[in-house]
Amino acid sequence: MIHDILIHNGLLVTMDKDSRIIEKGAVLIKNGEIADLGPESDLIDADAGRKIDASGKIIMPGLINCHPHLPMTMFRGLADDLPLDVWLNEHIFPAEASQVNPGSAAQWSLHACREMLLGGITTCCDGYFHEDHVVKAIHESGIRAIAAQGVIDFPAPGVPDPGENIAAARNFVEATKDISSIITPSIFCHSPYTCSEATLTAAKQAADDLGVLFQIHVAETKNERNMIQDLGNRSIVQYLNEIGLLDKNTLMIHAVWIDDNDMEMIYQSGAGVAHCPESNMKLASGICPAAKLIEKGVRVGLGTDGCASNNDLDLFAEMDTAAKLQKVALLDPCAMDAKTTVQTATIRGAAALGLDGVTGSIQKGKQADIILVDTDKPHLIPMFDVYSSLVYSAKSSDVDLVMVQGRVLVQKGRLL
């Protein structure tokens, strides 16, 4: 049975819409849900079977990784510092063909979930192949997840006949939707350059029919538009918009090569964006105008991308890089300030995934996806502003405790 839990005596960073911070705060958790929060003095006598003393620690919502490709953890560091075509065609694609199977997908997804939990990530939004086996690993780990079966117009792991790709995705969603209250199925079209218009629209139709999130890589590289047939004078975003792919149930991943018109179109469509700056840098793809998208009102979350192109699943490092990259790209030190950056890794990320009613901030009625960050480290002293400390100084290794839906999965920096 799950005890009621009181986390108290910590610096409570709620990430709610008022960005409320309570210096000596407490959170009461009942049945995996946040039942109350406030100053410690108001809650200290609450009836809770377990009390967690968070003195010297930051209490904050768990981080949200909008794009990890979990099984690709097996390819961490397999091939780096190479031209994109050599990297893909001579290393990643052959490795995927020979090494991705149900067993390896599950094994490395579990490994990935453990790495994420240790680093304070409580929700991930995955997309890959053999996703039914990925889901088994997610379930075992206890992390919250959106999990999507991949759709691509090539033979793929588990789907040798591309003609079956939509049916496989539909079957995956049906088979997954009742496994766990914290795992939500989804459909993930690889990209507009690897899927025909017919595939793209059929996959989006399937996602709409089933009421699930539709994910797609969009405008990642400069050369991408050359790879898309029948694009004509349209931008990639315009193309996807015209064929009905962009709406509030769509997550666009990368969105690097987009202009002001594209940004307006994304905003109007209501689609969310998964921003993966470290992957975009390492693969030399380019720089997503994330600060502009956020300013416009687009729901932007942060993602690590897979371990073949980052090479880790560390959102603390990603926050630091995300903030600094926007500043140098715009030559504006005010761009992507620390608070906004923490939001992209928490509440904005949750919103991009459509999960902001459930997680992403510490608010009454939300699920208790909460982490404690230990501030008793030389690199976190002094601390003038908690958002600055979290973005520019904190490391994933400072995460002390992690709970998902009130269930403690990491304690004293170790997996339970």
Contact status: 153 vs its own copies (CB under 8 A): no
Any idea what DSSP says for residue 128?
Answer: E
| Peptide bond connecting 102 to the previous residue in cis, omega within 30 degrees of 0 | no
- List, in sequence order, the alpha helices (H) in 190-276: 197-210, 224-227, 236-242, 260-269
- Within 8 A by CB and 6+ apart from 303, the residues are 65, 66, 67, 68, 125, 253, 274, 275, 276, 279, 318
Contact status: 305 vs its own copies (CB under 8 A): no
Pick the closer one to its own copies by CB: 44 or 287: 287
Instruction: Single out the segment in contact with its own copies by CB under 8 A; choices: 38-46, 191-199, 333-341, 366-374.
Output: 333-341
Instruction: Single out the segment in contact with its own copies by CB under 8 A; choices: 142-150, 205-213, 316-324, 352-360.
Output: 316-324
Question: Mask of contacts with its own copies, 278-297, x by CB under 8 A?
Answer: x-xxxxxxxx----------
Question: Mask of contacts with its own copies, 336-375, x by CB under 8 A?
Answer: -xx-------------------------------------
H/E element, 151 = strand 144-151
Q: What is each CA distance from 269 to 193, 225, 273, 303, in whole angstroms?
A: 21, 21, 12, 21
Q: Measured between alpha carbons, how far is 156 from 170 in angstroms, rounded to an integer?
A: 16
Question: Which of 49, 77, 160, 163 forms a contact with its own copies (CB under 8 A)?
Answer: 77
Question: Which of 39, 327, 407, 408 forms a contact with its own copies (CB under 8 A)?
Answer: 327
Provide the residue type at 10 as one letter.
G
The count of other CB atoms within 10 Å of the CB of residue 201 is 15
Least Å from the CB of residue 142 to its own copies: 15
The count of other CB atoms within 10 Å of the CB of residue 154 is 12
Pick the closer one to its own copies by CB: 198 or 328: 328
Contact status: 94 vs its own copies (CB under 8 A): no
Label residue 393 exposed, middle or buried (CB < 10 Å: 0-12, 13-18, 19+): middle
Question: Which of 78, 175, 179, 243 forms a contact with its own copies (CB under 8 A)?
Answer: 78
Contact status: 81 vs its own copies (CB under 8 A): yes
Question: Which of 149, 199, 321, 363 forms a contact with its own copies (CB under 8 A)?
Answer: 321
Residues within window 108-137 making contact with its own copies, judged by CB under 8 A? 111, 114-115, 118-119
Pick the closer one to its own copies by CB: 198 or 284: 284
**DSSP tally for the chain: helices H, then strands E:** 16, 17
- List, in sequence order, the alpha helices (H) in 244-314: 260-269, 277-282, 290-296
Pick the closer one to its own copies by CB: 262 or 398: 398
Pick the closer one to its own copies by CB: 108 or 172: 108
Contact status: 259 vs its own copies (CB under 8 A): no
User: Which spans of this chain sit near its own copies (rule: CB under 8 A)?
Assistant: 74, 76-84, 87, 111, 114-115, 118-119, 222, 278, 280-287, 310-314, 317, 320-321, 323-325, 327-328, 330-335, 337-338, 378-379, 381-385, 388-389, 392-393, 395-397
